[in-house]
């Protein structure tokens, strides 16, 4: 399949590499050309210096960029140059409103837009083990799915345009509460003078077990926060969640509180720390 991939950052670069390794004809694009050049040098791939160059007559255009405005800008620029009937798959985490807007715009121009945020972080992208939650035309997703499988372990169609983004919000709400609970559990174990290895070995075998516990309690206890999804990104995502909740009336007291806690982590200089750094604000009070 002829594919263009926009956004060659920590997530997009390995995703585009997996597409190449699966035998697809991939053209990369990044607004910072130097980053596209690094990707091309590492993979032997090629890139376009403009969106128009990258997407010329492609059947599938995949994005993994920064925010709503980035997606709007790139998609608007790309639409006239894509092959007729092309599918746009957006892996960026955005608002559901933006996804609906882009789906309508694409349909007006004879293309399809699928909002398809992912879960699994940088490690999932590197290992080709991302989970994709998708909204939009199911037939368009079906056409893109063989390519998406190059870097995904699960792809789930959730409903009409915007449904993928709403599902990603559910994901981030759940993570926020779990990570805060883990931070408090680590803090309590340390203050109580427990052998933390023994304590977490015990509780991780029961109902308290989670991915966050399995992968983050040891590093959080050591004050090491250089793993994966950054606080700045999480705050962006929680901002989208809370905006949507204000619109639909959902009551997210814990999510709003954890968002404030992440703001405290940012004030500590932890913008690029990973999400388990909620533990740092408790450690700073020890």
Question: Where a domain ends, among 159, 181, 197?
Answer: 159
Same domain, 119 and 23: yes
Taking phi first (over 0 means left), then psi (-120 to 50 degrees means alpha), and beta for anything else, what does residue 193 get?
A: left
CATH code, domain carrying 201: 1.10.1040.10
Which position has the token pair 């959730």? 158
Indicate the helix (H) or strand (E) that contains 142. helix 138-148
* CA 6 – CA 28 distance, rounded (Å): 6
Same domain, 25 and 141: yes
The per-residue pLDDT for 215 is 93
Number of structural domains (the chain) is 2
* CA 277 – CA 273 distance, rounded (Å): 6
Same domain, 25 and 140: yes
- CB of 84 closer than 8 Å to CB of 110: yes
The per-residue pLDDT for 285 is 66
Structure tokens given for 285:
């009070």
CATH code, domain carrying 16: 3.40.50.720
Active site residue 168: yes
| Beta carbons within 8 Å of 205's beta carbon, 6+ residues apart | none
Where in the sequence is the domain holding 78, given as residue range(s)?
2-159
Residues forming beta bridges with residue 245, ordered by sequence position: none
The per-residue pLDDT for 127 is 96
Indicate the helix (H) or strand (E) that contains 88. strand 87-90
Same domain, 128 and 151: yes
Q: Which of 168, 205, 218, 222 is catalytic?
A: 168
Same domain, 47 and 123: yes
* CA 150 – CA 127 distance, rounded (Å): 10
HSE-up (13 A, CA, CB side) for residue 146: 10
pLDDT along the chain (286 residues), means of 10: 96 97 97 95 96 96 97 98 97 98 98 97 94 98 98 98 98 97 97 97 96 95 92 97 98 98 98 97 79
Q: What single string gives the DSSP state of each residue in 234-253? A: HHHHHHHHHHHHHHH----H
Same domain, 65 and 149: yes
The per-residue pLDDT for 264 is 98
Indicate the helix (H) or strand (E) that contains 181. helix 163-191
Same domain, 137 and 208: no
The per-residue pLDDT for 228 is 78
């Amino acid at each position: 399949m002829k594919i263009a991939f926009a956004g060659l950052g920590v997530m997009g670069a390995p995703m585009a590499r997996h597409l190449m390794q699966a035998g697809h004809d991939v053209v990369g694009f990044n607004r910072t050309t130097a980053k596209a050049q690094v990707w091309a040098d590492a993979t032997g791939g090629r890139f376009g210096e403009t969106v128009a160059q990258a997407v010329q007559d492609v059947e599938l255009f995949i994005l993994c960029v920064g925010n709503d405005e980035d997606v709007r800008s790139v998609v608007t620029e790309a639409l006239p140059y894509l092959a007729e009937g092309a599918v746009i798959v957006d892996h960026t985490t955005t608002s559901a409103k933006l996804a609906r807007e882009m789906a309508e715009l694409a349909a007006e121009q004879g293309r399809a837009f699928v909002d398809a945020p992912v879960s699994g972080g940088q490690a999932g992208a590197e290992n080709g083990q991302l989970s994709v939650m998708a909204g939009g035309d199911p037939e368009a997703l079906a056409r893109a799915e063989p390519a998406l499988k190059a870097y995904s372990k699960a792809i789930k169609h959730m409903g009409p345009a915007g449904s993928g983004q709403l599902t990603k919000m559910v994901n981030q709400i759940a993570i926020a509460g779990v990570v805060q609970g883990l931070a408090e559990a680590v803090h309590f174990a340390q203050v109580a003078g427990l052998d933390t290895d023994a304590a977490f070995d015990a509780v991780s075998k029961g109902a308290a077990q989670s991915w966050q516990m399995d992968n983050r309690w040891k590093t959080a206890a050591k004050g090491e926060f250089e793993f994966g999804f950054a606080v700045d990104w999480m705050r962006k995502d929680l901002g989208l969640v809370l905006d949507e909740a204000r619109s639909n009336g959902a009551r997210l007291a814990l999510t709003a509180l954890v968002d404030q806690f992440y703001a405290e982590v940012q004030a500590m200089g932890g913008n690029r720390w990973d999400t388990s750094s909620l533990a740092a604000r408790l450690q700073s009070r020890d």
